[in-house]
């Protein structure tokens, strides 16, 4: 009986360990790439929007625009975050398509004005050419990525007949927006939401590998200072802590930071975006 008792006693921890492992797997099972694409398309279509593919020299990029466009002088372009870049700290995802299309949600919630959404390389179009893993991991802000995104902005400007752009970047999309803004002369406003604007400080904070091969907006603060800008952070954000944004603002004179109480990296930007947008909107100058 003692032998049996020992056998049963040893089996219980093993069973609990197995159950815990199964629970962990269940908790980290992501929607499939197809499901993520279908959900985003359904959301867009429910608001009268559609997706289009923009062909650049290196990447195919997905944009979301209203099916009915009323051309105007100014266009707001929302830039998506990093998406599902990693499924663990040291394990890259096989497809960076976002679990939740935050940039699309924000654009749809904007109460008025022309707007569009520009997704990052390989999001929703993973099967496209040049979708190497580095373009959503270490080289996510590389010169070739920024060049492709800028080319896509040119196409959107032409489509909307816009002369001026306001860029809104979410999470890692904030770095993309900032890098575009400091390189272009048609960007008259920059808004970031829970934005990673200093990836070296961000990787050091999280003690993860640096983003080698990526440009960093803080390296060109003099150029960025010419752009009217406001940066929004969540008080409870642990993915991009507001402390990092405040440090960035100290280096970029004229950068305004607003920390929203109760917000984190995901909550509650889209739900409250109409009110937030009205509170931060401004009339940009005709030129820079």
123-137, 177-191, 232-246, 263-277: lowest mean pLDDT where? 123-137
Q: Which pLDDT score is estimated for 283?
A: 52
* Domain locations along the chain: 1-30, 33-280
Helices (H), 28-129: 33-46, 102-109
- Please check whether residue 269 is in contact with residue 194, taking contact to mean a CB–CB distance below 8 angstroms: yes
Q: Which pLDDT score is estimated for 84?
A: 96
Task: Tally Cβ neighbours within 10 Å of residue 26.
Answer: 8
Q: Which pLDDT score is estimated for 25?
A: 36
pLDDT in tens, 114-171: 999 999 999 999 776 689 999 999 999 999 999 999 999 999 999 999 999 999 999 9
What CATH number should be reported for the domain whose range is 33-280?
3.40.50.1820
| 255: its two tokens | 């950068």
Give the closest residue to 156 by CA, choosing from 71, 265, 273: 71
- Please check whether residue 127 is in contact with residue 34, taking contact to mean a CB–CB distance below 8 angstroms: no
pLDDT in tens, 174-185: 999 999 999 999
Residue 110 pLDDT level (bands cut at 50, 70, 90): very high
pLDDT in tens, 23-80: 333 345 779 999 999 999 999 999 999 999 999 999 999 999 999 999 999 999 999 9
């Amino acid at each position: 009986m003692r032998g049996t008792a020992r056998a049963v006693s040893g089996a219980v921890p093993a069973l609990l360990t197995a159950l815990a492992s199964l629970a962990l797997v269940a908790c980290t099972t992501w929607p499939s790439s197809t499901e993520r694409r279908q959900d985003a398309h359904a959301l867009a279509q429910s608001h009268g929007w559609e997706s289009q593919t923009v062909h650049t020299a290196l990447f195919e990029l997905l944009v979301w625009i209203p099916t009915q466009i009323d051309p105007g002088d100014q266009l707001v372009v929302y830039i998506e975050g990093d998406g599902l870049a990693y499924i663990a700290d040291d394990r890259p995802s096989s497809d960076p398509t976002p679990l939740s299309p935050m940039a699309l949600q924000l654009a749809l919630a904007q109460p008025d004005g022309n707007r569009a959404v520009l997704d990052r390389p390989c999001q929703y179009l993973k099967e496209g050419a040049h979708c190497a893993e580095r373009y959503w991991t270490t080289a996510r802000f590389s010169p070739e990525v920024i060049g492709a995104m800028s080319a896509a902005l040119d196409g959107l400007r032409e489509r909307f007949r816009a002369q001026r752009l306001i860029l809104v970047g979410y999470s890692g999309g904030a770095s993309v927006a900032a890098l575009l803004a400091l390189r272009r002369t048609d960007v008259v406003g920059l808004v970031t939401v829970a934005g990673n604007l200093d990836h070296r400080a961000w990787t050091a904070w999280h003690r993860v590998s640096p983003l080698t091969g990526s440009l960093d907006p803080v390296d060109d603060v003099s150029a960025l200072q010419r752009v009217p800008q406001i940066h929004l952070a969540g008080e409870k954000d642990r993915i991009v802590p507001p402390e990092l944004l405040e440090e960035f603002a100290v280096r970029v004179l004229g950068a305004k930071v607003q920390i929203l109480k109760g917000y984190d990296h995901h909550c509650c930007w889209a739900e409250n975006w109409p009110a937030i947008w009205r509170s931060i909107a401004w009339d940009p100058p005709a030129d820079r």
